[in-house]
């Protein structure tokens, strides 16, 4: 019996040591979200779903604002439509992420109809919200690295995937350096939270075809038929009210392919009027970029390619600067 206990103790120590070591290796290659919840508390946030996750670059915003003597330090805290629609889970994650000592931050809240919508049978059924079984709803710690809470309760893969991603990244760096990559996609979450997705050897024809396929899938999909949720709308309002205590808030509707704009406006015709009303009631600005001429490049009609993420981030920063001058 004593021998069995000793062996069990040794095994437990080995397992704990292994997990500790793997946790130290977790980084921006591990998955799309780890860095976001394994970083310190922040003073300025980009909030929203995947459009903002890949389409708004903190480094570009900071460079524009700093050039105009506005010191900002943005962090991209956007996730995905399934993970971070406006609701209790995302609200909790945002509250925990804010550096409460700072009162001069800036907050960009990306909005689109689906982030304030749920399944049509009962859009206010909080017990069955789509994010309930996903990462943000199942963790309590959103800051600090390593984040064991996330790795144990929010990480969707086995911990062996952490070291696998490390190996894949080393191989990628080698192949890229030696110009041996023929095709593929590389993803990485930067320290400022921006999610980068890089396609290799993909031309305009590739992205055009992919955009057509994704738009057709969106319009014909039965799973994308969401309905306005008063609960989610109220959580968006609650989020705005909370963030106003720590700086300026801007509600932003990002550009997408014209056919997707038309689809969204058909799904929720009063979306823009709701956002204008919300902005007015809370004395914040609503910046709608979907009504402006479309001069951006998309990888699927819904998400920017990197060159357009840079361009839009500059345009967004300049738009905010114009509002600040009023």
Residue 219 counted as domain residue: yes
pLDDT at 8: 45
Q: Residue 252 and residue 49: Cα distance in Å, rounded? A: 12
pLDDT at 13: 44
Per-residue pLDDT of the chain (326 residues; tens, 9 = 90+): 555 445 444 434 434 444 455 677 788 888 999 999 999 999 999 999 999 999 999 999 999 999 999 999 999 999 999 999 999 999 999 999 999 999 999 999 999 999 999 988 899 999 999 999 999 999 999 999 999 999 989 888 877 788 888 787 777 777 676 666 666 778 899 999 999 988 776 678 888 898 999 888 888 876 667 899 999 999 999 999 999 999 999 999 999 999 999 999 998 999 999 999 999 999 999 999 998 877 899 999 999 999 999 999 999 999 999 988 77
- For residue 295, give its domain range: 28-325
Number of domains in the chain: 1
Torsion-angle region of residue 179: left (phi > 0), alpha (psi -120 to 50) or beta?
Answer: left
Residue 95 counted as domain residue: yes
Residue 193 counted as domain residue: yes
Centre a 10 Å sphere on the Cβ of residue 113 and count the other Cβ atoms it contains.
21
Q: Residue 181 and residue 200: Cα distance in Å, rounded? A: 7
Q: Is the dihedral of CA 306, 312, 315, 316 positive or negative?
A: negative
Q: In DSSP terms, which residues pair with 198 in a beta bridge?
A: 186
Residue 158 counted as domain residue: yes
Q: Residue 48 and residue 176: Cα distance in Å, rounded? A: 32
| DSSP at 114 | G
Cα of first residue to Cα of last residue in the chain, in angstroms, is: 78
Token pair for 207: 């992205």
Residue 12 counted as domain residue: no
Q: Residue 311 and residue 306: Cα distance in Å, rounded? A: 9
Residue 13 counted as domain residue: no
pLDDT at 14: 39
pLDDT at 39: 96
Token pair for 260: 């997707």
Instruction: Report yes or no: 110 and 288 within 8 Å, Cβ to Cβ.
Output: no
Helical H runs in 98-226? 148-153, 160-177, 204-220
* Residue corresponding to tokens 């041996």: 180
Residue 197 counted as domain residue: yes
Residue 201 counted as domain residue: yes
pLDDT at 119: 84
Distances (CA, A) of 29 to 6, 110, 245, 314: 37, 24, 34, 26
> Any idea what the CATH number is for the domain that residue 44 is in?
3.40.50.1110
């Amino acid at each position: 019996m004593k021998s069995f206990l000793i062996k069990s103790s040794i095994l437990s120590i080995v397992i704990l040591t292994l997990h500790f070591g793997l946790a130290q290796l977790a980084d921006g290659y591990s998955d799309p979200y780890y860095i976001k919840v394994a970083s310190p508390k922040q003073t300025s946030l980009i909030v929203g779903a995947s459009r903002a996750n890949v389409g708004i670059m903190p480094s570009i915003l900071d460079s524009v604002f700093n050039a105009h003597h506005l010191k900002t330090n943005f962090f991209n805290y956007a996730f995905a439509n399934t993970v971070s629609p406006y609701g209790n889970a995302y609200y909790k994650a945002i509250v925990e992420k804010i550096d409460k000592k700072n009162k001069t931050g800036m907050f960009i809240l990306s909005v689109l109809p689906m982030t304030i919508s749920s399944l049509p049978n009962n859009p206010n059924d909080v017990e069955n919200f789509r994010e309930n079984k996903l990462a943000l709803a199942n963790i309590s710690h959103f800051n600090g690295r390593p984040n064991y809470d996330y790795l144990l309760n929010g990480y969707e893969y086995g911990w062996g995937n952490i070291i696998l991603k490390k190996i894949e990244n080393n191989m990628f760096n080698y192949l890229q350096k030696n110009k041996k990559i023929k095709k593929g996609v590389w993803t990485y979450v930067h320290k400022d939270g921006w999610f980068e997705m890089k396609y290799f050897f993909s031309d305009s024809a590739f992205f055009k075809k992919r955009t057509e396929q994704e738009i057709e899938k969106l319009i014909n999909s039965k799973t994308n038929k969401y309905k306005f949720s008063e609960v989610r709308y109220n959580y968006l309002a609650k989020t705005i009210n909370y963030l106003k205590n720590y700086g300026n808030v801007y509600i932003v509707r990002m550009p997408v392919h014209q056919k997707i704009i038309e689809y969204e406006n058909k799904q929720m015709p009063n979306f823009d009027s709701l956002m204008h009303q919300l902005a007015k009631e809370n004395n914040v600005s609503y910046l709608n970029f979907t009504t402006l001429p479309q001069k951006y490049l998309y990888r699927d009609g819904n998400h920017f390619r990197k060159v357009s993420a840079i361009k839009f981030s500059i345009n967004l920063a300049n738009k905010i600067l114009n509002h600040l001058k009023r």
